[in-house]
Amino acid sequence: MPTTANDRPIRTSSSRSVARCVAIVAIAAAVFILAPVAVASAADDGDGLSPSERAQMVAAGWITGAYLFATGATIGSFLSVVVYRLPRGQDLRRPKSRCPRCQTQLRWYDNLPVIGWLLVGGRCRYCQASISPRYPLVEAACGAWFLLLGHLELLSGGGCLPLRAVPRMTGALWIVWSPQWELIGIYVYHLVLTCWLLVLASWVWDRQRLPARAVVWLLAMGMLPAIVWPNLRPVGAWGTTLTAETVNYTAVALRTSNWTSGIIDGLVGLAIGACIGSALAAEVGRPSHGGVTPFGAWHVTVMLAAVGLFLGWQAAVAVTLPTAIVAASVIVVSGGCRQTALAAMAYSTFVATLAFIVSWRFWTQMLAWLVRGPSPGAVTALVFVVFAGAVCRSLIRRRPAPTT
């Protein structure tokens, strides 16, 4: 549960049935995601290992999976604090968490992620005011994402990352317990991006303004680490930043060479992502006759700019296509409601970025296949992309008159 004050909305209806559903979902997610991590960690290169060595691999997988899930759930609890307090200009540390109805300060075990909410059955321990299940859902979702990305990107030895060879020895014992700092750094870098995107999407959901200091922190956290460690971006502005000489899977110190590429790649990705985001937001949510920009336009622009900054301009372009399709569809279905379309764009940008990260290697291979030669498949794919863009443009132009 979030460690903040006055950020637990009181619900008028009972949430006990919802509490039971959340309990089942949280427990099932933890079990069914932790188990494959442990099994996969023991399965890689398991032939020829003694029973004790195999037991060590399984134990390392379970401990690492539990740690990733717990860390993600804790970060999710803090993100709820950021979502509520930052737009209101409040301190993120004080005052401590308390019930918004009776103003009683909560105990430490009431703030445990997911568990704290389940222990009190979704109600305040003191006045029985209902607490929204949004908080444990966000915490459980963050824990599951930390675990899923850790399994697909970190413990697999970069299996979903583009333009790199997967090491022979993978799993928690070989990647985390014998630290491969490059993979760990990329994993954490991507988690920072996705957490910020979740915060931005939550502000759109809550119709909260975009704080200036949040944008500054987002840009700093995307630019500065990549200047110190350019290999945090596997794909640079003009191709790969990784070579056979710079990629190895031993415990190495942070690389500080070629820092100029970190600046250039970040600026190019930021500029292209911001341009695409602002153009798309301006097209979907044209200002009214009074010149007022619809709510959500800046959120979408910053989200696509962040994708370009963290992942490169190629990722910003890839994420834009499904976002534009969703926006065009929502405009038609909602009768031209600009704010609804912008909100849908923010949510689809968040989801599309998660999907892109876990399938990054696949899309890079598809792109390389497309540019190798004029094969029938390449021509078909290019025609489909052009057709999809034309359809989106046509739907946006023919949208009904705005209703809001």
Within 8 A by CB and 6+ apart from 187, the residues are: 149, 150, 153, 154
Of the listed ranges 73-82, 109-118, 286-295, 333-342, the least confidently predicted one is 286-295
Token pair recorded at residue 250: 């031993």
- Mean pLDDT computed over every residue of the chain: 75
Binned at pLDDT 50, 70 and 90, residue 115 comes out as: confident
Closest CA to 143 of 248, 31, 262: 31
Residue 109 DSSP code = G
The answer to which of 52-61, 67-76, 249-258, 381-390 has the lowest mean pLDDT is 249-258
Percentage above 70 pLDDT, the chain = 69
* pLDDT for 256 beyond 50: no
Per-residue pLDDT at 249 exceeds 70 = no
Per-residue pLDDT tens over the stretch 179-213: 888 899 999 999 999 999 999 999 999 889 899 99
Residue 374 has pLDDT above 50, yes or no: no
What pLDDT is attached to residue 173? 76
**Helical ranges in 125-171 per DSSP H:** 134-149
